[in-house]
């Protein structure tokens, strides 16, 4: 656990990293990735970042800023128009259509709207993630109750999703995402439909999963959550990455003393940096 | 393990979606019932039409004084040198007299002698070709009158009015049947495919989730197809049972009393039901497999 904490030090800033250089620890690497939808909307523009194994990263930004685009690209629901995406050493563009399901089994995914199968009980929903991979019934019977106990659903095994509260449904969804012990867990607005108290429970769950060594990537606009967790934050604005900081708050801030010192010493330290000049900065400051 | 899993999935889906399942069975049942009644009807009608068309004949009347060598020459000419002839039947004077006097004994008794000529009765290979045969045996001359090709032929004649009527009416009946059948088949396919589509559309989110969790296309498709086949077969089975009951209760007693109903040849009941069952299963399997394709593109 401590190891994962210390891993989060060198953070590449967009544009700083030379294009060919690969981070051996990186679970996710985006290099100059752009996504333009067929409608002409720009989902993502020239995004470059990398996420190391065991990191817990927030992607923040307003609606339409490109958070979901990153998630969809990672899920290979969409193809990048430009640039390279490497996940766990594999180029996403090279995975052929038929192999996509096998690639997806290495990801756990949690969605804002839970995306549970309405016709299955809690147990069967979680079991389905194992059934698609062809696990034996014995293994499923051993694993599913375990993970459901871990997520606090031990008493709800045989309920259907519509008999559960939102928080419980999201727990099921997290359980399903994690039951395969994937190396990478993506959560797209996992707390978007939940009240603050329930949200904390879900984030705790994600945090616990992260502590087992799983890389967790959370897209959110829940500022309270981000501020409290103080993890790495990648901020997007209209498809561009405008901020990438370790231990960050949701809003922008001045560099911490330590970061300032590192900056002075010329180390490639995590630098709080505005990449785009925003005329509303002062307004934002006034609000703070 | 896996086939068992797919069957269980299909069963679960039927159980958990009783109304769409019922709709699928019902639409299949109705379609097959209509088809099952309509197909024998079409066959009977076209069969009857064909029987009528088979009566289209051409009579070649010989001169009264035709010798046996004349007869032989004309016979060979009709049988060997005239296109579209299927059958030539020779009816001698005596035979014709016997036949006709049986139909109308008093008139022939009055006659005393036999006024009838030797006749060749020509059956065309297709009733529509009867005009061609007529033209080659008695082509029109420049004034538009018909002139026989052989001295010993008196006249070539088809029963003009009757033939024309038969040909028009039977053609009409056949075309009407073709159009009705194709409309019905199109309607059935639309009905069944729409039902499948609707029930799949209601579950497209389910399919999407399965894909996002990492299920392969076939892993999702198998249960859906098994479900489609099960529902289609169930609907088909009920339809066949109802058709069988209808046949035994209504058609069979009728056909015993009236020769007319049994007269036209229709396909045997077993073949018909087998055809309907196979069609229902194939359409529902292909329908659910193909309709799913759209939702699998996630």
Give the gap in angstroms from C-alpha A212 to the nearest C-alpha of chain B: 21
pLDDT, position A103? 93
Domain assignment of residue A37, yes or no: yes
Fold that domain B58-158 belongs to in CATH: Alpha-Beta Plaits (3.30.70)
pLDDT above 90 (res B155): no
pLDDT, position B94? 86
Domain assignment of residue A85, yes or no: yes
* Token pair for B52: 């009528």
Domain boundaries, chain B: 2-52+167-296, 58-158
Nearest to B279 by CA among B244, B245, B239, B246: B239
Range of the domain at A11: 2-106+182-287
User: Which chain A residues are within 8 Å of B2, Cβ to Cβ?
Assistant: 134
User: Which chain A residues are within 8 Å of B12, Cβ to Cβ?
Assistant: 119-120
pLDDT digits (tens, 9 = 90+) for A69-83: 999 999 998 999 999
B95 vs B29: CA distance, rounded Å: 57
Total domains present in chain A = 1
Which residues of A lie closer than 8 Å to B, measured between beta carbons? 75, 77, 98, 101-105, 107, 109, 115-120, 128-129, 131-134, 136-137, 176
| A272-279 long-range contacts, CB within 8 A, separation 24+ | A272/A243, A272/A245, A272/A248, A273/A13, A273/A243, A274/A242, A274/A243, A275/A14, A275/A240, A275/A241, A275/A242, A275/A243, A276/A237, A276/A240, A276/A242, A278/A237, A278/A242
Domain assignment of residue A89, yes or no: yes
A170 vs A154: CA distance, rounded Å: 14
User: Which chain B residues are within 8 Å of A98, Cβ to Cβ?
Assistant: 216
Of A119, A132, A176, the CB nearest to B215: A132
CB A60 within 8 Å of CB A229: no
Higher pLDDT, B260 or B243: B243
pLDDT digits (tens, 9 = 90+) for A88-133: 888 999 999 889 999 999 999 999 999 999 889 999 999 999 999 8
Bridge partners, residue A240, by sequence: A237
pLDDT, position A23? 65
User: Which chain B residues are within 8 Å of A139, Cβ to Cβ?
Assistant: none
Domain assignment of residue A147, yes or no: no
Low-confidence ranges of chain A (pLDDT < 70): 1-23, 252-256, 259, 263, 267-288
Domain assignment of residue A271, yes or no: yes
Domain assignment of residue A176, yes or no: no
Q: Which of residues 257-276 of B touch A (CB under 8 A)?
A: none
Q: How would DSSP label each residue in B2-65?
A: HHHHHHHHHHHHHHH-HHHHHHHHHHHHHHHHHHHHHHHHHHHHHHHHHHHHHT--EEEEEPTT
Domain assignment of residue A208, yes or no: yes
Cβ atoms within 10 Å of A210's Cβ, excluding its own = 20
User: Which chain A residues are within 8 Å of B4, Cβ to Cβ?
Assistant: none
pLDDT above 80 (res B248): yes
pLDDT, position A256? 66
CATH code of the domain in which A233 resides? 3.40.50.300
pLDDT digits (tens, 9 = 90+) for B61-84: 888 888 888 888 888 888 888 888
Cβ neighbourhood burial of A133 (10 Å; 0-12, 13-18, 19+): middle
- What's the complex ipTM? 0.74
Domain assignment of residue A124, yes or no: no
Pairing label, strands A82-87, A56-60: unpaired
Average confidence score pLDDT of chain B = 83
Mutate to test the interface with A, among B214, B215, B220, B224 (most CBs of A within 10 A): B214
B264 vs B272: CA distance, rounded Å: 16
pLDDT, position A177? 94
Q: How would DSSP label each residue in A233-250?
A: EEEEETTEEEEEETT--S
pLDDT, position B160? 65
Of B5, B16, B214, the CB nearest to A101: B214
């Amino acid at each position: 656990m401590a190891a994962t904490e210390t891993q989060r030090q060198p953070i590449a800033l967009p544009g700083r990293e030379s294009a060919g250089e690969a981070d051996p620890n990186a679970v996710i690497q985006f290099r100059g990735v752009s996504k333009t939808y067929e409608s002409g909307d720009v989902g993502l523009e020239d995004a470059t970042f990398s996420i190391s194994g065991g990191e817990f990263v927030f992607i923040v930004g307003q609606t339409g800023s490109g958070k979901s685009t990153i998630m969809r690209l990672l899920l290979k629901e969409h193809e990048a128009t430009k640039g390279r995406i490497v996940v766990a050493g594999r180029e996403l563009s090279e995975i052929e259509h038929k192999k996509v399901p096998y690639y997806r089994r290495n990801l756990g995914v949690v969605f804002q709207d839970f995306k549970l199968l309405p016709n299955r009980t809690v147990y069967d929903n979680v079991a389905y993630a194992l059934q698609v991979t062809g696990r034996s019934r014995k293994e499923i019977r051993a694993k599913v109750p375990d993970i459901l106990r871990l997520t606090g659903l031990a008493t709800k095994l045989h309920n259907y999703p519509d008999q559960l509260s939102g928080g419980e449904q999201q727990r099921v969804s997290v359980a399903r995402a994690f039951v395969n012990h994937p190396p990478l867990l993506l959560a797209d607005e996992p707390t978007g439909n939940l009240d603050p108290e329930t949200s904390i429970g879900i984030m705790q769950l994600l945090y616990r999963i992260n502590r087992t060594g799983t890389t967790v990537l959370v897209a959110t606009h829940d500022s309270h959550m981000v501020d409290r967790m103080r993890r790495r934050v990648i901020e997007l604005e209209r498809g561009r990455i405008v901020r990438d900081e370790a231990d960050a708050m949701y809003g922008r801030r001045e560099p911490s003393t330590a970061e300032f010192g590192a900056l002075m010493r010329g180390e490639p330290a995590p630098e709080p940096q505005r990449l785009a000049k925003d005329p509303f900065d002062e307004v934002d400051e006034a609000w703070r | 393990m896996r086939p068992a899993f797919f069957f269980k999935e299909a069963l679960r889906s039927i159980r958990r979606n009783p109304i769409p399942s019922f709709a699928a069975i019902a639409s299949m049942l109705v379609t097959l019932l209509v088809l099952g009644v309509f197909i024998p009807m079409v066959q009977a009608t076209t069969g009857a039409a064909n029987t009528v068309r088979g009566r289209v004949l051409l009579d070649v009347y010989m001169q009264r004084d035709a010798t046996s060598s004349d007869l032989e020459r004309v016979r060979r000419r009709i049988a060997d040198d005239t296109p579209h002839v299927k059958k030539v039947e020779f009816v001698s004077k005596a035979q014709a007299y016997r036949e006709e006097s049986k139909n109308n004994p008093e008139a022939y008794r009055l006659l005393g002698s036999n006024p009838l000529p030797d006749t060749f009765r020509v059956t065309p290979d297709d009733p529509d070709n009867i005009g061609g045969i007529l033209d080659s045996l008695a082509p029109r001359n420049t004034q538009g009158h018909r002139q026989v090709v052989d001295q010993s032929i008196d006249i070539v004649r088809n029963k003009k009015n009757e033939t024309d009527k038969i040909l028009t009416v039977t053609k009409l009946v056949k075309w009407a049947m073709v159009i009705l059948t194709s409309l019905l088949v199109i309607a059935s396919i639309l009905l069944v495919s729409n039902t499948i589509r609707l029930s799949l559309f209601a579950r497209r989110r389910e399919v999407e989730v399965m894909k996002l969790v990492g299920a392969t296309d076939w892993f999702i498709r198998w249960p859906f197809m098994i479900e489609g086949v099960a529902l289609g077969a169930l609907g088909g089975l009920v339809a066949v049972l109802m058709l069988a009951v209808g046949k035994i209760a209504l058609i069979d007693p009728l056909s015993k009393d009236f020769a007319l109903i049994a007269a036209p040849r229709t396909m045997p009941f077993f073949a018909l039901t087998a055809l309907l069952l196979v069609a229902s299963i194939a359409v529902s399997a292909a329908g659910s497999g193909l309709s799913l394709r759209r939702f699998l593109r996630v």
